[in-house]
Structure 1
Amino acid sequence: MGKLLCDSTTVAESFQASSPTVPWRDPKSAPPLEAIEAVDLVHQTNIATTTGGWEDVLGLEEQQRRHLQRLQTKGVLWKHPGNDDSSSSKPTFLVFRLSHGGDVSADGNCLFTASQKAMGGDIDARDLRNRTVRRFLEDFGSASFELREGINDAIRHMYSPDLRNGWGIHVVQEVKLLAKKEDRQALDSAIDELVHLGMQREMAAESIYKERCIPVNDCPSWAKYMSISGSPDDACDIITLQYTEEGLLSVDENREGHAAAFGDDIAIECLATEFKREIYVVQAHGSDAMVDEENCVFFLPHRPRSEIVEPPFFLFMKGTGWCGAGADHYEPLIAHPSALVSQEKVAVVL
């Protein structure tokens, strides 16, 4: 599952507002075009042994399905973003036909399981999560104070929002906290003491968790949060406090420790940087978003903060339109390399 905010009419602006691209490292010049052209694209065709047509994908409206089928039959044209010189004798254009890569579990790890399937490598989803966090910490460590503050602000906005604001956009807002597994018994005892004094159970839990747990509100706490995969090896459990404008709605205490940190825009950018390739999230919105067929599918680019040395990979989201925002589950797209055709014949030019 994941956090992604977008507006189909202003994709670039919305993406920047949701998760600003932060140049933590000096961008390097693009690699020689031959480096991209030498990539073994045939390998990407062979990695999808379970790829099916869009008619088999559940939860799509007909307008979405028709548009997505065009992505599979006509393909999308990608140009290496470092090759902006139209006079170049060797422009780098690649065409990919996009097909659905199959379902992945909606267990909170879907950004990483979907990415593993889309990339087709040997690395597993847990390793992808760990490498994403390591990349974040390495780049964060070399960032200036001003840039770190900008990243901290974005993290606070997503995971420790100011509950006095934002209700014109969100019906429910969540606050994420981290409880150390070794502290759970002491936390339960403190909650029970307040309950015995007459406090309602959820109010007691909210009070103790907010007082004693780690808020996800800056870069170090984000790294701890994003490391959590819902396994017994995690150092912390995720506590989620849900609020409406009227006050506390619920407390998810995650007593079994199965909750995993959902991948967000920051994680996608770190993943792109780690593998030096663009990641496109393809969102398909239905009639609830009040968009026509030509605009019901759009591409959200996530560029690495350094050079691009491999072709992009693609993830899929079935969008929800009730608040104009993104959905919360990533699925893999398999990019089949196709013969180069004119821009007029492809479904989308990236």
Structure 2
Amino acid sequence: MGKLLCDSTTVAESFQPSSPIVPWRDPKSAPLEAIKAVDLVNQTAIAAGGGGWEDVVGLEEQQRRHLQRLQSKGVLWKPPEDGHSSTLRSVVFRLSHGGEVSADGNCLFTASQKAMGGEIDARELRKRTVSRFSEDLGSAILQEREGINDAIRHMYSPDLRNGWGIHVVQEVKLLANKADRLALDSAIEELVQLGMQREKAAESIYKERCIPVNDGTSWAKYMLISGSPDDEYDIITLQYTEEGLLSVDENRDGRAAAFGDDIAIECLATEFKREIYVVQAHGSDAMVDEENCVFFLPHRPRSQIMELPIFLFMKGTGWCGAGADHYEPLIAHPSSLVSQEKVAVVL
């Protein structure tokens, strides 16, 4: 599973100004210069490495139609005009669905693995993402570091006095050292024996003894968790409504993994010096019209862009929470372009 925020600018602004959302549009008014810049690559078989959209489950017809146009017409990607990407040329990509990946909390990294060609496994991608974050955080100035900490706190240790106009349920993430689980259970049981309700006792002990995910250091510990027995920590999730505690997910089997968030995507982009576009397809329950049901969320690296972009897919269901929590790979096929009308989107 993955995670994008209702207000994704909170995270993006902590690292760098974010590129704007690229809405769906046919670039009929695009300048001819953009088309002339296309790097004509030999057409590959679209079916190789990616499938069509007709068999992808969970899509409404308006979403399916637009995604099929992405595959048939393609999207035009142009390298940034910053003087550092002169070796890259504009390319048209036809985007096809790269298949389902397991919804085990690791989907950002398993989807990225497929989108990148599978040369690096998902677990290594997670480790390199966290390593890049920690290195960049260590060199950040105080103001940048404070902004990053604020963004993390907003996501994983929210102020439960606010935000109820946006969220019905808010979550607090805590880290329990696997070696401490027996001691934690014992402390919870002591409170239960004193007459405290089990969930309230668990909430009290976990908040007192576990690590809150509220800054860069704790985020790095959290994002390393893949749901493996080798993880140092287990994720504890406290869910709240405006009325108070709703539930405690104690994750006793230790299988919960840290969902990839906007910070992780930007760090992944920085590590590999390439843009990552999250293609979101929102349905009718998101109250968007057909022409705007598909849009691109760009994540630019904090370094020079040296490689072509990769694309990830997210099926949306509603607007709040950015609509979904699961990433799937998109396979980007370089394509020769015949005319301007064949481009569905200019990035």
TM-score with structure 1 setting the length: 0.88
1:18 shift after superposition: 4.4
Distance 2:8 2:306 in 1: 23
* Helix, strand or coil at the partner of 1:77: strand
Task: Kindly provide the CA deviation profile for residues 135-169 of structure 1, in whole angstroms up to 9, marking residues without a partner as x.
Answer: 00000000001100000000000000000000000
Task: Kindly provide the CA deviation profile for residues 60-89 of structure 1, in whole angstroms up to 9, marking residues without a partner as x.
Answer: 00000000000000000000013589xx9x
Conserved in 2, the CA contact under 8 Å of 1:5 and 1:326? no
1:196-345 mapped onto 2 (5 Å cutoff): 196-321=193-318, 323=320, 325-345=322-342
Aligned residue in 2 for 1:136? 133
Conserved in 1, the CA contact under 8 Å of 2:277 and 2:296? yes
Aligned residue in 1 for 2:3? 3
Task: Kindly provide the CA deviation profile for residues 174-227 of structure 1, in whole angstroms up to 9, marking residues without a partner as x.
Answer: 000000000000000000000000000000000000000000000000000000
Aligned residue in 2 for 1:69? 68
1:48 shift after superposition: 7.6
1:34-183 mapped onto 2 (5 Å cutoff): 49=48, 51-82=50-81, 92-183=89-180
Distance 2:104 2:182 in 1: 25
* Helix, strand or coil at the partner of 2:245: strand
1:273 shift after superposition: 0.2
Aligned residue in 1 for 2:9? 16
* Helix, strand or coil at the partner of 1:56: coil
1:51 shift after superposition: 1.9
Alpha carbons of structure 1 residues 191 and 91: separation in structure 2 relative to 1, 3 Å: closer
Alpha carbons of structure 1 residues 47 and 343: separation in structure 2 relative to 1, 3 Å: closer
Task: Kindly provide the CA deviation profile for residues 216-263 of structure 1, in whole angstroms up to 9, marking residues without a partner as x.
Answer: 000000000000000000000000000000000000000000000000
Distance 2:229 2:267 in 1: 25
The amino acid across from 2:12 in the alignment is S
Distance 2:71 2:286 in 1: 23
Distance 2:335 2:82 in 1: 20
Distance 1:101 1:321 in 2: 23
Q: CA RMSD in A?
A: 2.5
Aligned residue in 2 for 1:31? none
* Helix, strand or coil at the partner of 1:147: helix
Distance 1:71 1:349 in 2: 11
* Helix, strand or coil at the partner of 2:305: coil
**Structure 1 residue ranges (4+ consecutive) displaced by more than 6 angstroms after TM superposition:** 39-42
Distance 2:8 2:337 in 1: 29
Conserved in 1, the CA contact under 8 Å of 2:49 and 2:331? no
The amino acid across from 2:13 in the alignment is P
The amino acid across from 1:338 in the alignment is S
TM-score with structure 2 setting the length: 0.89
Distance 1:122 1:41 in 2: 22
Aligned residue in 2 for 1:10? none
Distance 1:293 1:226 in 2: 36
* Helix, strand or coil at the partner of 2:15: coil
Conserved in 1, the CA contact under 8 Å of 2:152 and 2:215? yes
Distance 1:221 1:45 in 2: 44
Conserved in 1, the CA contact under 8 Å of 2:50 and 2:99? yes
Conserved in 2, the CA contact under 8 Å of 1:4 and 1:18? no
Higher mean alpha-carbon deviation, 49-58 vs 303-312, is at 49-58
* Helix, strand or coil at the partner of 1:4: coil
1:17 shift after superposition: 3.1
1:46 shift after superposition: 8.2
Alpha carbons of structure 1 residues 70 and 127: separation in structure 2 relative to 1, 3 Å: same
Unaligned runs of 5+ in 1: 7-13, 25-36
Aligned length: 326
Unaligned runs of 5+ in 2: 18-36
Aligned residue in 2 for 1:28? none
